[in-house]
Amino acid sequence: MLGKCIENVRKCVPLVHNITNYVTVNDVANVLLACGGSPIMSDEPDDVEDITTICGGLNINIGTLNKSSIEGMFLAGKRANELGHAVLLDPVGAGASALRTSTAIRLMEEVKFTVIRGNISEIKTLAHGSGTTKGVDADVADAVTEETLDSAVAFVKALAEKTGSIIAITGAIDLVADADSCYVIRNGRAEMGRITGTGCQLSGMMTAFLVANPDNRLEAAAAAVCTMGLAGEIGWARMQPGDGNSTYRNRIIDAIYNMDGSTLDKGAKYEIR
Amino acid sequence: MLGKCIENVRKCVPLVHNITNYVTVNDVANVLLACGGSPIMSDEPDDVEDITTICGGLNINIGTLNKSSIEGMFLAGKRANELGHAVLLDPVGAGASALRTSTAIRLMEEVKFTVIRGNISEIKTLAHGSGTTKGVDADVADAVTEETLDSAVAFVKALAEKTGSIIAITGAIDLVADADSCYVIRNGRAEMGRITGTGCQLSGMMTAFLVANPDNRLEAAAAAVCTMGLAGEIGWARMQPGDGNSTYRNRIIDAIYNMDGSTLDKGAKYEIR
Amino acid sequence: MLGKCIENVRKCVPLVHNITNYVTVNDVANVLLACGGSPIMSDEPDDVEDITTICGGLNINIGTLNKSSIEGMFLAGKRANELGHAVLLDPVGAGASALRTSTAIRLMEEVKFTVIRGNISEIKTLAHGSGTTKGVDADVADAVTEETLDSAVAFVKALAEKTGSIIAITGAIDLVADADSCYVIRNGRAEMGRITGTGCQLSGMMTAFLVANPDNRLEAAAAAVCTMGLAGEIGWARMQPGDGNSTYRNRIIDAIYNMDGSTLDKGAKYEIR
């Protein structure tokens, strides 16, 4: 059951090293604290190996990458691999610039990722080596819909097999797959796209779920996606007239803070294909 | 009518490239999403040209500038000029340090800006080559008041003519001018100065307005200023006993999220001189 | 009386230069504005000396340090010393990596700090040259409790004497000491640890208190600690069912915004040993 996965996070209080963009980093930290984890941020090449060593997992997010932080990503990723830590890649904006695309692809070549999580355009870019990402948002033409679901599930399983990583594609319908099984998740609300960084927040939180559930990582990744989506539904239900995306951001993080295993089990909407 | 300008943002969903400070960047992103735009942040010199190419406009904000991001500002600005994109300069802290003053002035020499937006002390620094900026806030001695309004309007029109840019000076009274016309705007509340980054947020939002209203840029810039000020009024009206600047920040962004053209047309307080 | 200290901040509106991490920087700025100060952030070596010159105090926080910002810390610290400004060190993560530990210790050797503020594990690391910091949180084994209070008070006074700095250790019980006197403070709530950056926020705010109370710096530092803790209590009292750490963050900053001297004097819980 997915609820067990968040309960394990609260018991284990996993320390997560984040090399992440400066746009959404504060929310990533607060979401990690909300779900029961503990965040630490460091991107300096001379600092990252020590920091990742004391952590249980590593979240690499390439938004606002720079030459120094890119070097930090490779050093931390390799050290985390040596230590057998969970490592997640969030390829923000892959397809939007040559540097982002090539950095993500090089990271996939040199670091073994437990999970790669992005929107459909970013993940297609990684699969094909080029893409049509619209800034940091998915291209509408790429969207996973009920009509394209069968082929999307096949795509994500094939990419998981090829890369050896769990692949998580988030959007109106979320897909979380290894080579054999794909969670098709229908939690969340479209309005979450009007808040900056819900994807980045999910990546941070998912890393904590992976650390706290080492024997059940596919389920842990799916549980994190359901937690985020369900928090989006619970947070929306508390919105008042006049509220907007800034208040919604707070309510989603608050809902994660209050999420327990039984709420998650009752609210999670998914099937396994 | 100014209301049309925000409606155009919501229709066009302009992608805005921001090279901005790490203090207020999250709020800038959420304000851009609130008004109907889409933000992307990138300051790495090897990344900015690709990113600005896929965007409609560029917002350059020199708060927390560093050697690398300065290089990024020039590269992105020149590319955006080649592509005919709207480009905005927010000279945060010009007058407070030699590096900030000289960077802003060099940017004005090498990049053609659609709009330059700052507080009165920053803009005077750019006009005279030196200034008395008090940190990132305007010097009280510089303030635009009803008493100094005539000379301030003349100053801002003259600077617009000299630079070929729309000049926007925000404070208790806001001025938005080209060489011929000056919007004198009286929206907003003094308490907005107790929130970090309302100026940065406005610069990001204004860039979206410029992109979505290419044939009417002076009006678009004025509409963005009125939207921010009116959101400050609407947000304040929703404050409860015990609320302070952190809640006020959320309520202002929420008010932008809920702003429509007719609310803006009814609430905008301006004259054209 | 401690209440006088916050009243002095509101009268003096101290400009505080912050070289701080990008995780919590926005909250640091809003807390500085909430308490009546004015924040400016700058870490670029070519910028920091000018910026610190126009300020009254300097807050150095080593979270997310990098090679360039480290250079900025030394340049700004030395200039602030020359000018007789209040200078605070927040050694975030000292003990968690060699770079953080060595940077904090080198800073203490080359810059004279008015206050050093951290959690018990970070401060023990500075005292002993190595430590067991758990990421950016204190190690449970180090915690200051009623049982260990006598020895903790002796430790903090001895370190204050050795360094010539006021030492502030925050946790369930807070200690603020010079060589002779130690404020033992029991404000605050455990839930504040579920918000990222309450320590960073306190460091920024404390710097403003130091600047505004130059003749009474031990009391000013203690007043800042009481203000933060009391704001945590007031903010918690306003929490509604369904609220969590994101809303709590807003409510704490709001409570600082509304704090006056008499509220602080009534709510501060401390003894002097």
pLDDT in tens, A108-158: 999 999 999 999 999 999 999 866 666 667 776 788 999 999 999 999 999
Q: Classify residue C186 as exposed, middle or buried by CB count within 10 Å of its CB (0-12, 13-18, 19+).
A: middle
Out of A70-79, B127-136, C182-191, C262-271, pick the least confident: B127-136
For residue B85, which of B36, B18, B152, B148 has the smallest C-alpha distance? B18
The packing angle between helices B2-12 and B198-212, to 10°, is: 80
* pTM recorded for the entire structure: 0.97
- Name the one residue in this structure whose structure tokens are 């000396």: C49
Residue C64 and residue A43: Cβ atoms within 8 Å? yes
Q: What pLDDT does residue C223 have?
A: 98
pLDDT at A175 over 90: yes
Our measurement of the distance from residue A123's CA atom to the centroid of its chain's CA atoms, rounded to an integer in Å, reads 12
Report the percentage of chain C scoring pLDDT > 90: 94
Q: What pLDDT does residue A263 have?
A: 98
Residue C40 and residue B244: Cβ atoms within 8 Å? no
CB of C99 within 8 Å of a chain A CB? The answer is yes
Give the CA dihedral A253, B195, B56, A20, nearest 10 degrees: -40
Q: What pLDDT does residue A273 have?
A: 96
Q: What pLDDT does residue A132 have?
A: 60
Do the beta carbons of residue B222 and residue B176 sit within 8 Å?
yes
For chains B and C, count residue pairs whose Cβ atoms are closer than 8 Å: 104
CB of C61 within 8 Å of a chain A CB? The answer is no
Question: Residue C221: how many CA atoms within 13 Å on its side-chain side?
Answer: 29
- Name the one residue in this structure whose structure tokens are 């988030």: A170
Q: What pLDDT does residue A129 have?
A: 81
CB of C92 within 8 Å of a chain A CB? The answer is no
Which conformational region is residue C95 in: left (phi greater than 0), alpha (psi within -120 to 50 degrees), or beta? left
* Strands, E assignment, chain A: 15-19, 38-41, 57-61, 86-90, 115-118, 166-169, 174-177, 182-185, 270-272
Q: What pLDDT does residue B140 have?
A: 67
The packing angle between helices B198-212 and B217-237, to 10°, is: 140
CA-angle at B42, arms to A39 and B213, nearest 5°: 125
Q: What pLDDT does residue C1 have?
A: 83
Show residues of chain A in contact with C61, CB under 8 Å.
none
Which token pair is A171? 């959007």
Q: How far is CA C77 from CA B194, C59, C60, C82, C107, in A?
A: 27, 9, 8, 9, 8
Q: What pLDDT does residue C86 have?
A: 98
CB of A106 within 8 Å of a chain B CB? The answer is no
* Chain A closest-CA separation from residue B141 CA (Å): 34
Range B21-36 burial, b when 16+ CB lie within 10 A, else e: bbbbbbbbbbbbbbbb
Our measurement of the distance from residue C23's CA atom to the centroid of its chain's CA atoms, rounded to an integer in Å, reads 16
Of C27, C99, C247, the CB nearest to A254: C247
Q: pLDDT tens digit string along A252-266?
A: 999 999 999 999 999
Show residues of chain A in contact with B33, CB under 8 Å.
194-196, 245
Residue of C26, C27, C97, C236 to mutate, testing the A interface (most A Cβ within 10 Å of its Cβ): C97
Q: What pLDDT does residue B112 have?
A: 98
* Strands, E assignment, A63-102: 86-90
Q: What pLDDT does residue C133 have?
A: 63
Strand B166-169 vs strand A182-185: parallel, antiparallel, or unpaired?
Answer: unpaired
pLDDT tier at A1 (50, 70, 90 boundaries)?
confident
Q: pLDDT tens digit string along B170-180?
A: 999 999 999 99
Residue of C nearest to B103 (CA): C47
Q: What pLDDT does residue B1 have?
A: 83
Count other C-beta atoms under 10 Å from residue A11's C-beta.
Answer: 10
Q: What residue ranges of chain B have pLDDT lower than 50?
A: none
CA-angle at A209, arms to A204 and A214, nearest 5°: 130
Task: Please give the Cα distance from B56 to B32 (Å, whole number).
Answer: 13
Of B64, B135, B246, the CB nearest to C43: B64
Task: Please give the Cα distance from A235 to B231 (Å, whole number).
Answer: 23
Range C195-220 burial, b when 16+ CB lie within 10 A, else e: bbbbbbbbbbbbbbbbbbbbebbbbb
Residue B253 and residue A242: Cβ atoms within 8 Å? no
Show residues of chain C in contact with B243, CB under 8 Å.
254
Q: Helix, strand, or coil here: A16?
A: strand
Of B27, B97, B137, the CB nearest to C47: B97
CB of A23 within 8 Å of a chain B CB? The answer is yes
Q: pLDDT tens digit string along A181-191?
A: 999 999 999 99
Please enumerate in sequence order all residues whose Cβ is within 8 A of that of C30, keeping only pairs 6 or more positions apart, or say none: B195, B196, B245, B246, B249, C253
Of B26, B234, B256, the CB nearest to A23: B26
- What chain C holds in terms of domains, given with CATH numbers, is 2-272 (3.40.1190.20)
Residue A33 and residue C245: Cβ atoms within 8 Å? yes
Show residues of chain C in contact with A34, CB under 8 Å.
194, 244-246
Residue of A nearest to C192 (CA): A33
Task: Please give the Cα distance from C18 to C62 (Å, whole number).
Answer: 11
Residue of B nearest to C68 (CA): B66
Task: Please give the Cα distance from A2 to A268 (Å, whole number).
Answer: 8
Residue B66 and residue C44: Cβ atoms within 8 Å? yes
* Chain B closest-CA separation from residue A162 CA (Å): 28
CB of A136 within 8 Å of a chain B CB? The answer is yes
Tell me, letter by letter, the H, E, C secondary structure of A133-198: CECCECCHHHCCCCCCHHHHHHHHHHHHHHHCCEEEECCCCEEEECCCCEEEECCCCHHHHHCCCH
CB of C35 within 8 Å of a chain B CB? The answer is no
Task: Please give the Cα distance from C122 to C94 (Å, whole number).
Answer: 5
Task: Please give the Cα distance from A89 to A79 (Å, whole number).
Answer: 15
Chains touching chain C at 3 or more Cβ pairs under 8 angstroms? A, B
The packing angle between helices C25-35 and B245-257, to 10°, is: 120
Q: What pLDDT does residue B132 have?
A: 60
CB of A29 within 8 Å of a chain C CB? The answer is yes
Residue of B97, B133, B194 to mutate, testing the C interface (most C Cβ within 10 Å of its Cβ): B97
Chains touching chain A at 3 or more Cβ pairs under 8 angstroms? B, C
Residue A246 and residue B258: Cβ atoms within 8 Å? no
CA-angle at B65, arms to B60 and B71, nearest 5°: 70
For residue A173, which of A151, A194, A195 has the smallest C-alpha distance? A151
CB of C250 within 8 Å of a chain B CB? The answer is yes
For residue C188, which of C266, C267, C131, C121 has the smallest C-alpha distance? C267
Q: What pLDDT does residue C162 have?
A: 97
Task: Please give the Cα distance from C258 to C267 (Å, whole number).
Answer: 13
Of A22, A64, A244, the CB nearest to B258: A244
Beta bridge partners of A59: A18, A88
Q: What pLDDT does residue A135 have?
A: 67
CB of A10 within 8 Å of a chain C CB? The answer is no
CB of A43 within 8 Å of a chain B CB? The answer is no
Please enumerate in sequence order all residues whose Cβ is within 8 A of that of C25, keeping only pairs 6 or more positions apart, or say none: B22, B23, C18, C41, C200
Residue of C16, C30, C85 to mutate, testing the B interface (most B Cβ within 10 Å of its Cβ): C30
Beta bridge partners of A58: A17, A87
Task: Please give the Cα distance from C239 to C252 (Å, whole number).
Answer: 10
Residue C54 and residue B99: Cβ atoms within 8 Å? no
Q: What pLDDT does residue C35 have?
A: 98
Residue of B nearest to A134 (CA): B54
The average pLDDT across A203-220 equals: 98
Residue B24 and residue C22: Cβ atoms within 8 Å? no
pLDDT at C135 over 90: no
Q: What pLDDT does residue C134 have?
A: 61
Q: What pLDDT does residue B143 have?
A: 87
Which token pair is A135? 């800034």
CB of B227 within 8 Å of a chain A CB? The answer is no
Of C44, C47, C253, the CB nearest to B245: C253
